[in-house]
């Protein structure tokens, strides 16, 4: 809703509300944007001075405000406060942010059948609450429907009237907007809920075609067409044309009831929501709620445990040479001339790469990622060869230890056997005495000589 600065003749304070901006002006008065001491914003309408001096108008206005207090429903602007005895009577309703249906269509063009049906279903529910309270709006039109983030809202019950009341003012002029008035309003007959059904049908036709179903022209020409000519629905989609034609019937008895209209519009909204013409509705709740919200695509980036698993898989692919994973945030970026460093849990644990030593220009090897069981994996060099990774070094150390241990054991066994051999050689074994032969023995006295 467009806002304008306050004019010099506009009041600054009305009742307990401070006025900030002009929201618009109509046949009954001016609508202001105001706020109370708690900061609650309201739409406050002040009655015109010439109407404020009319006692008949004051009495009717008091009845209308009393009827508006009885309305309960989420599709209407709630009445906040009113002063019927002020020099210029006023009333304040809840302020509804959002453009009017008139401004929306005027700026963006006709709405899709799914959107029109969704908005119409929500408005029908709002009118059902209004009619249950015994009130007829009598001035339902695109500029009195606000498209809030929570759904459409019906505003401006300034000329609302009790069911069965006359529609003529004291000067014999029909109250309402030409092109959206029902024929009984123009004739001055009693108003009924069917009067609002006619206005709703004309409003939805405007949303489909960006024009009134009775065309354009002066007030007299428009009122004549409403009474004597049929509505022009050539631009209305086929899904809505028969239903809107029944709403615009000249005889109130031929129009659908408020409840029947709400149910039928919900069916059309559900059918058109997945059809080729309207596409899926942008609202995710009740009819008409959140109609202007853009559908947001969920992020495809994994989080939590999925992010850790994703990083680990990228690390394994990086070590196999299929991809180059991003470095871990905890490690500073590598120089441009250095080999890419795959990220992994080892780098996240804070292990620093080995420092360079010896020859000038020798780079420190990149930190090596670890697998699931904590073992390190070999790293490819920039030349395409494979350097012995930590696993080969560990295996080589184990082989050396095994060989050393084997040699020590062998030496121990050999030493034990060597100790037993010399012990036998040191002992002197005396040969057993041998008996001399019968022929004598060799002695110092000659062969065969016997001892004396």
Residues carrying an active site annotation: 139
115 close to 253: Cβ distance less than 8 angstroms? no
14 close to 90: Cβ distance less than 8 angstroms? yes
What's the rounded Cα separation, in Å, for the pair 120 and 243? Answer: 11
Please report where in the chains the tokens 């350097």 appear, as a residue. Answer: 387
86 close to 92: Cβ distance less than 8 angstroms? no
What's the rounded Cα separation, in Å, for the pair 17 and 380? Answer: 76
What's the rounded Cα separation, in Å, for the pair 338 and 379? Answer: 14
Please report where in the chains the tokens 């809920």 appear, as a residue. Answer: 193
Burial (0-12, 13-18, 19+ Cβ within 10 Å), 151:
buried
What's the rounded Cα separation, in Å, for the pair 291 and 283? Answer: 5
What's the rounded Cα separation, in Å, for the pair 79 and 43? Answer: 10
What's the rounded Cα separation, in Å, for the pair 372 and 331? Answer: 20
Taking every pair of C-alpha atoms in the chain, what is the biggest distance, in angstroms? 190
CB atoms within 10 A of CB 292: 14
Residue-level length of the chain? 452
CB atoms within 10 A of CB 440: 14
DSSP-derived secondary structure letter, 434 = -
What's the rounded Cα separation, in Å, for the pair 170 and 1? Answer: 32
The first and second tokens of residue 88, run together, are 């210029």
Q: Which of 248, 207, 198 is CA-nearest to residue 113?
A: 207
The secondary structure of the chain in percent helix, strand, coil, rounded to multiples of 5, reads 35, 15, 50
What's the rounded Cα separation, in Å, for the pair 398 and 404? Answer: 10
Please report where in the chains the tokens 């000329």 appear, as a residue. Answer: 159
């Amino acid at each position: 809703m467009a806002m304008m600065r306050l004019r010099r003749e506009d009041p600054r304070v009305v009742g307990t509300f401070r006025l900030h901006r002009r929201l618009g002006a109509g046949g009954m008065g001016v609508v202001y944007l105001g706020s109370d001491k708690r900061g609650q914003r309201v739409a406050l309408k002040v009655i015109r001075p010439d109407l404020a001096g009319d006692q008949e108008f004051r009495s009717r206005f008091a009845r209308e405000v009393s009827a508006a207090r009885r309305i309960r429903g989420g599709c209407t602007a709630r009445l906040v406060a009113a002063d019927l005895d002020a020099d210029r009577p006023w009333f304040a309703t809840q302020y509804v942010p959002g453009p009017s249906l008139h401004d929306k269509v005027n700026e963006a063009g006709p709405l899709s059948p799914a959107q029109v049906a969704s908005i119409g279903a929500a408005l029908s529910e709002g009118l059902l609450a209004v009619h249950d309270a015994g009130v007829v709006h009598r001035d339902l039109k695109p500029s009195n429907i606000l498209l809030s983030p929570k759904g459409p809202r019906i505003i401006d019950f300034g000329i609302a009237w009790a069911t069965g009341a006359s529609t003529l003012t004291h000067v014999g002029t029909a109250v309402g907007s030409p092109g959206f008035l029902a024929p009984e309003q123009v004739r001055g007959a009693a108003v009924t809920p069917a009067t609002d059904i006619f206005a709703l049908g004309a409003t939805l036709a405007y949303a489909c075609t960006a024009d009134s179903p009775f065309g354009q022209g002066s007030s007299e020409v428009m009122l004549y067409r409403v009474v004597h000519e049929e509505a022009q629905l050539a631009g209305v989609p086929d899904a809505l044309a028969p239903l809107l034609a029944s709403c615009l019937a000249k005889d109130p008895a031929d129009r659908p009831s408020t409840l029947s209209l709400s149910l039928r519009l919900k069916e059309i909204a559900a059918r058109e929501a997945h059809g080729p013409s309207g596409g899926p509705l942008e609202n995710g709740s009740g009819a008409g709620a959140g109609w202007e919200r853009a559908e947001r695509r969920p992020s495809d980036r994994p989080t939590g445990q999925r992010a850790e698993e994703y990083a680990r898989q990228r690390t394994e692919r990086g070590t196999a040479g299929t991809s180059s994973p991003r470095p871990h945030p905890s490690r500073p970026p590598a120089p441009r001339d250095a080999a890419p460093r795959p990220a992994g849990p080892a780098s996240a644990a804070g292990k620093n790469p080995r420092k360079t030593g010896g020859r000038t220009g020798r780079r420190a090897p990149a930190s090596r990622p670890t697998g699931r069981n904590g073992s390190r994996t070999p790293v490819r060099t920039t030349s395409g060869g494979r350097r012995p990774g930590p696993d080969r070094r560990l295996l080589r150390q184990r082989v050396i230890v095994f060989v050393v241990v084997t040699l020590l054991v062998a030496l121990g066994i050999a030493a034990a056997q060597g100790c037993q051999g010399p012990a036998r050689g040191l002992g002197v074994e005396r040969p057993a005495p041998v008996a001399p032969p019968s022929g004598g023995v060799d002695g110092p006295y000659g062969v065969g000589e016997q001892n004396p």
